Structure 1
Amino acid sequence: MLPADPGLAERVRARMTDEGAEATPGAVAAAVLAEPGAALLGEHTLRRVAGRLAGEMVGAGPLAPLLADPSVTDVLVNGGEVWVDRGTGGLRRVIGTLGDEAYVRRLAQRLASNAGRRLDDASPFADIRLPDGTRMHAVLPPVALRGPYLSLRTFRRHAFSVEELVNCGTVDPGAARLLRSVVAARLPFLVTGGTGTGKTTVLASLLSLVPAAERVVVVEDAAELRPAHPHVVSMQSRAANVEGAGEVSLRELVRQALRMRPDRLVVGECRGAEIVDLLGALNTGHEGGAATLHANSPADVPARLEALGLMGGVPRAALHAMVVSALRVVVHLHRAQSGQRELTEICVLSHHPDRHTAVVVTAWRRGSGPGPAAPDLDELLSRHGVEPPRPDGRWRFTPGKGWS
């Protein structure tokens, strides 16, 4: 019976190779239809068989249904085991196995080859972007002791609105009003937090609030930001090919973006010397810029920025001066033990009077409301022509005096 034929995939692959056909879903379906006895099968069965083979030959194979599940954020493969993260409850193992280690290795190498990357004993690890936008990191044995190990971060085509983030509990309603004001005032900001806390999701939601008349230029290592905005220009860095040529760094893209008339310059994730170019841009009239940054807490942000700035050859004192002049707000996210992603603090970046360094002071904290820097943030908003959101309808904000 054709659907259960173990040699079907090899015959289809051989037929497509002989015909010089590109491995597309349509070409796979045509090759299946050319098999003896295929005409006797129903249309539904043929479509199912062709879809399965196309997944094995073109897409992510057996992992494709998991990557297509809108509730799944991460798919992790440890040898033949598969684990998924659906955003709540932590990682859960998927019943069954993906296959033996040889199959997982072939799958990883095929995906890497399709992306123009090398993955073999000489280059046992690779960062890969799948055609649907999914990010995959692969590590092969013997580096991966019980591997191969695959780590896939799914790509979300839907940009969550701020209202949706409020409804799912990620953003407090009071914080949402404050964030709207920050975007409207064109205050440059960082979205910070650990891995998997939802930094990219929150940043995309905030960029969706940018007025439609403004041009948003986004540079990223892996294209993930898809804000609901009519004028977004996205650029993605490129790694060197197997010959070691063709690299386009994130730092170079930031420089190019400055020549593209950006109203808002956005770096998807700062993790290297590109922070120097971003700070330089924000110090020279490019208001409203934004980026994400890995940090365990808001207090760690200045140290993280200092470390990245030193990679770019900027002295410590000069780097802190640039940070205080360029950045205004830090939006920090945390992931609870339950898996819930939460915006926990909104802070103001200011200058420490004694140490001459940047310091982060809380303006709003989840569960307790306004913090010590709340008046400073209100002043910033008012200075940029935006009335700070009122904590209570009976209160009124007065520049220089705060709420009264």
Structure 2
Amino acid sequence: MFGKRGTTGQSGHASKPFGGSSTTTSDVKSEAAPAPEKSESKAPAPEPEPEPSSAASLSNEAKEKLDEIKVNVFNDLMEAVDLSELTALTPEQVREEINDMVSEIISMRGLVLSLPEQQTVIKDICNDILGLGPIEPLLERDDIADLMVNGPDVVYIEVDGKMQKTNVKFRDQAQLMNICQRIVSAVGRRVDEASPICDARLADGSRVNVIAPPLAIDGTALTIRKFKKDKLTLENLLQFGSISPELKTVMEVVSAIRLNTLISGGTGSGKTTLLNCMTGHIDPNERIITCEDSAELQLQQPHVVRLETRPPNLEGKGEVTMRDLVKNCLRMRPERIIVGEVRGPEAFDLLQAMNTGHDGSMGTIHANNPRESLSRVENMIMMGGYNLPTKAMREQISGAVNVIIQAARLRDGSRKITHLTEVLGMEGDVVTLQDICVYEIEGEDSNGNIIGRHKFTGLRPAFWEKAKYYGLERKLAEAMQFTS
């Protein structure tokens, strides 16, 4: 990953990996080791030790010493390098420059490091300057769904639906805050004591939330919802067991025949991922406009306009809200409007769009079941100050939304589509819903994994005629096991 070292004279003896260090820093108190790279500081010396406790002790001491060396070398590098000159270089050229300079500093200090240890120091420093410091290796892993930093000393990850604590640490709060500033400034935002909460995104579309002191009492909290490098499809969800083959077919039809769809679910249930997958079956000739707080949707169609909200500046001016974006969409000749997350008064504007010819519009909403998602839309409309009678509001909702797809994260960490529910209309003052497919839990295996199946209710959906109009009724009938 890094350029090969040309430094000579490294004895790299396993039994004294840091014996040559004559450097100590009183201002650096064996600060919490920066990096997930710690897992890479393999401390080869302890391996042959017969007593495990002694080996573990040496390993901890070696890590602390290596961390101290990293800090000292980094400080020397910052004094020696002109960062403004590096801006003209490519990342690869910068890494080569850093590689050479770090090797020279190590040699000048008379530090005795093995080749793996020296490469670890170089890698950590490159990550500090070019990447996101100690969490950079975690971001490179494709099996991690969420990364949660609870202050400089505590980092958790979610892998396969399960939380895991890592040994990754930042040097201190200052390093963590610098990394957060680097992330949010890349998208024109800021986070500080005056504005301690910020939503942002990484270059790959991964969602980022930062909350800093004084609101975060134990140090800055950084949460990253990672996106997989390979964009997921409904076929991938089928392989994961989130949907059945028949449900996959019905969802493809729902997307293709331009039904207005609300994707509902709790935090971490996979709503945005599902929305991305559903958009894969939209006609490539349609003009789509997306509205998001932090742009993370990854649509594959060629005719897409992506819009993003903007927070106010230091003077409290210049804010562009989600409602502003949705209202402006209507002037942009959209065929579909997709709202990354509906959570405020923009719900009314989205319903208006759905009711005025923008069929196939979609959005996600936080709710635990289909019925609750409609109640939340009602509440959001009231948040906008609309003084509508309850019945009129529900008529707007039932006339706009055709289908609700419910996503859930089950207790074993797996994610499932638990309901595909149709909105039929009104009966009196009540919105009528009809389940087309539900996920039934049948038990769990010896490993605690939930066993269940997707079951169709046997009811013919009201969108059958629309599927027929698009020539997809046979595909729908085969999936739902109807004769036609």
**TM interval, short-chain normalised:** 0.7 to 0.9
- How far is the alpha carbon of 1:91 from its aligned partner? 0.8
- Cα gap change, 1:394 to 1:332, in 2 (>3 Å): closer
Q: Is the partner of 2:164 in helix, strand or coil? A: strand
Query: Relative to 1, partners in 2 of residues 1:99 and 1:342: Cα closer, same or farther, differing over 3 Å?
Result: same
Instruction: Choose from 395, 405, 412 the match for 1:321.
Output: 395
CA drift at 1:298: 0.9
- Cα distance change of structure 1 residues 173 and 30 upon mapping to structure 2, 3 Å threshold: closer
Task: Determine the structure 1 residue equivalent to 2:407.
Answer: 333
Distance of aligned partners of 1:387 and 1:22 in 2 relative to their CA distance in 1, 3 Å threshold: same
Map Cα deviations across residues 220-241 of structure 1 (whole Å, 9 max, x no partner): 1111111333332212112123
Aligned residues: 395
Tell me what 2:38 maps to: none
From the superposition, tell whether residues 309 and 189 of structure 1 become closer, same or farther in structure 2 (CA, over 3 Å). same
| Partner AA of 2:477 in structure 1 | R
C-alpha distance in 2 between matches for 1:384 and 1:324: 23
Higher mean alpha-carbon deviation, 290-299 vs 229-238, is at 229-238
User: Contact 2:406–2:419 at 8 Å: present in 1 too?
Assistant: yes
Q: Which residue in 2 is equivalent to 1:390?
A: 477
State the distance in 2 between where 1:87 and 1:279 align: 36
| Alignment correspondent of 1:402 | none
| SS of aligned partner of 2:148 | strand
Any idea what SS the aligned residue of 1:304 has?
helix
SS state at 1:352 partner: strand
Tell me, what secondary structure is at the counterpart of 1:104? Answer: helix
**Alpha carbons of 1:143 and 1:395: their partners in 2 closer, same or farther (altered >3 Å)?**
closer
Give the aligned partner of residue 369 of structure 1: 455
Partner SS state of residue 238, structure 1: coil
Matched residue of 1:121: which SS? coil
> Given that residues 220 and 237 in structure 1 are in contact (C-alpha distance below 8 angstroms), is that contact kept between their aligned partners in structure 2?
yes
Local SS of the residue matching 1:178: helix
> In percent, how many aligned pairs have the same letter?
31
1:361–1:372: 8 Å Cα contact kept in structure 2? Answer: no
What's the counterpart of residue 117 of structure 1? 189
- Kept after mapping to 2: 8 A contact 1:16/1:22: no
- Per the alignment, residue 424 of structure 2 pairs with 350
Displacement of 1:244 after TM fit?
2.5
Q: Cα deviations across residues 46-80 of structure 1 (Å, max 9, x unaligned)?
A: 98766533421242211111122111111111121
Shift of 1:306: 0.1
Q: Which residue pairs with 2:442 in the alignment?
A: none
In the alignment, what sits opposite 1:244? 316
2:464 to 351, 375, 378: 378
Quote how far apart the aligned CAs of 1:321 are. Answer: 1.6
One of 335, 338, 342 as aligned partner of 1:270: 342
Question: Is the 8 Å Cα contact of residues 362 and 372 (structure 1) preserved in structure 2?
Answer: no
Bigger drift between 166-175 and 377-386 goes to 377-386
2:124 aligns with 52
Which digits, 9 at most, give the CA deviation of each residue in 1:180-202, with x for residues without a partner? 11122211111111111111111
**Aligned residues of 1:159 and 1:201 also touching (Cα < 8 A):** no
Could you tell which deviates more after superposition, 129-138 or 245-254?
129-138
Q: TM-score, normalised by structure 1?
A: 0.86
1:224 to 1:338, Cα distance in 2 relative to 1, 3 A? same
Answer whether contact 1:159 1:227 (CA < 8 A) is retained.
no
Partner of 2:221: 149
CA distance in 1, matches of 2:185, 2:257: 46
**2:21: which partner in 1?**
none
Compute the displacement of 1:273 (Å): 1.2
State the match for 2:82 in structure 1: 16
CA-based RMSD: 3.2
Alignment of 1:31-180 (within 5 A): 31-32=97-98, 35=101, 38=104, 51-79=123-151, 80-88=153-161, 90-180=162-252
Aligned amino acid, residue 376 of structure 1: A
Seen in structure 2, the aligned counterparts of structure 1 residues 98 and 360 have a Cα distance that, compared at 3 Å, is farther
Deviating more after overlay: 292-301 vs 235-244: 235-244
Structure 1 residues 281, 205: closer, same or farther in 2, change over 3 A? same
In structure 2, do the counterparts of structure 1 residues 305 and 373 end up closer, same or farther at CA, with 3 Å as the change threshold? farther
- Work out whether residues 395 and 426 of structure 2, in 8 Å CA contact, stay in contact via their aligned partners in 1: no
Report SS of the residue matched to 2:282. Answer: coil
Q: Letter of the aligned partner of 1:188 in structure 2? A: N
Report whether the alignment pairs 1:303 with 2:375: yes
Select the residue among 95, 98, 104 that pairs with 1:29: 95
Q: How far off its partner does 1:115 sit?
A: 4.3
Tell which deviates more after alignment, 288-297 or 101-110: 101-110
Separation in 2 of the partners of 1:215 and 1:321? 28
Of 176-185 and 21-30, the range deviating more from structure 2: 21-30
Q: Distance in 2 between matches of 1:46 and 1:21?
A: 25
Classify the secondary structure of the residue corresponding to 1:305. Answer: helix
Mark the runs of 5 or more structure 2 residues left unpaired by the alignment.
1-6, 11-65, 108-114, 440-452
Distance 1:130 1:20 in 2: 22
Look up the match of 2:260: 188
- Structure 2 match to 1:400: none
Is the partner of 2:218 in helix, strand or coil?
coil
Check whether the contact 1:84–1:92 (CA below 8 A) recurs between aligned residues: yes
Against the structure 1 CA distance between its residues 11 and 158, is the aligned structure 2 distance closer, same or farther, given a 3 Å change threshold? same
* Contact 1:38 1:46 (8 Å CA) reproduced: no
Contact 1:118 1:242 in 2 (8 A): no
Alpha-carbon distance change, 229 to 46 in structure 1, aligned in 2, over 3 angstroms: farther
1:312 paired to 2:380: no
Normalised by the size of structure 2, how large is the TM-score? 0.73
In structure 2, the residue matched to 1:401 is none
